[in-house]
């Protein structure tokens, strides 16, 4: 089998564009694997597919399986995807980016073997999934981030009492800022994530009824 230089250029450029479209969405979300990473994965996968399908076919006289080299991309991309997965307390972040890298590798392989329609359609579906479903999740399905501000006594064990109440209501804490006040108390700013069915009023009521917590409010 033979392929022209123009066809090679078309496939590589198309892989770059399709990978870049998905990478732009990940970049806009501030993910560790963004625009350039997705381009390189898609471009590299397409190149490997081209080499696998065409570079050795004349030498092997029909005994060559073009899928053998390309198949290693599917398993190898898992190591790159694993680098985007991070554990933050009880939460796991980066799974969607790892999945998008794996999908981009598949798109690159698809472009490399000449299935343009499948690659373009897959890219459209991936971008739609990342953009549209992300808005749906944040709007209806998942909990939302809040800033919880508390004025507490600056005494040993007071933070433990705060976190005990939050744990009871299954509140996830992402960031903690503690500063001292002139009155001798401490101001505590917490970036939290409330479960969809959590009662904001009940959480506040229980916090302010806890000894040592003088005031609690959401920003």
**pLDDT at res. 19:** 93
The two structure tokens encoding residue 9: 């250029």
Better pLDDT: 80 or 216: 216
pLDDT digits (tens, 9 = 90+) for 7-38: 999 999 999 999 999 999 888 877 767 889 89
**Distance of alpha carbon 201 from alpha carbon 165, whole angstroms:** 13
Domain boundaries, the chain: 5-141, 145-218
Q: Say which residue, 29 or 214, is predicted with more confidence.
A: 214
pLDDT given for residue 198 in this prediction: 77
Integer Cα distance of 131 and 123 in angstroms: 12
Strand pairing report for 172-180 and 86-88: unpaired
Q: Backbone dihedral region of 143: left (phi > 0), alpha (psi from -120 to 50 degrees) or beta?
A: beta
- Which is higher by pLDDT, 180 or 39? 39
- In CATH, what number does 145-218 get? 3.30.70.260
Contact at 8 Å (CB) between 209 and 136?
no
């Amino acid at each position: 089998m033979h392929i022209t230089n123009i066809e090679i250029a078309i496939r590589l450029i198309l892989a770059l564009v399709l990978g870049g479209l998905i990478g732009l969405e990940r970049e806009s979300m501030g993910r560790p694997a963004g625009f350039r990473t997705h381009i390189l994965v898609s471009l590299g996968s397409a190149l490997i597919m081209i080499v696998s399908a065409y570079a050795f076919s004349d030498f092997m006289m029909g005994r060559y399986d073009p899928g053998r080299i390309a198949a290693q991309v599917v398993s190898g991309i898992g190591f790159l995807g694993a680098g985007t997965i991070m554990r933050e307390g009880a939460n796991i972040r980066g799974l969607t980016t790892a999945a998008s890298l794996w999908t981009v590798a598949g798109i690159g392989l698809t472009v490399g073997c000449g299935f343009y329609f499948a690659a373009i359609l897959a890219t459209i579906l991936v971008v739609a999934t990342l953009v549209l479903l992300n808005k749906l999740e944040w709007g209806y399905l998942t909990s939302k981030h809040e800033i919880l501000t508390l004025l507490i006594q600056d005494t040993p064990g007071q933070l433990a009492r705060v976190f005990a109440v939050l744990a009871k209501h299954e509140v996830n804490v992402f960031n903690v800022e503690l500063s001292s006040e002139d009155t001798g108390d401490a101001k505590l700013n917490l970036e939290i994530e409330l479960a969809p069915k959590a009662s904001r009023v009940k959480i506040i009521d229980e916090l302010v009824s806890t000894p040592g917590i003088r005031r609690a409010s959401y920003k």
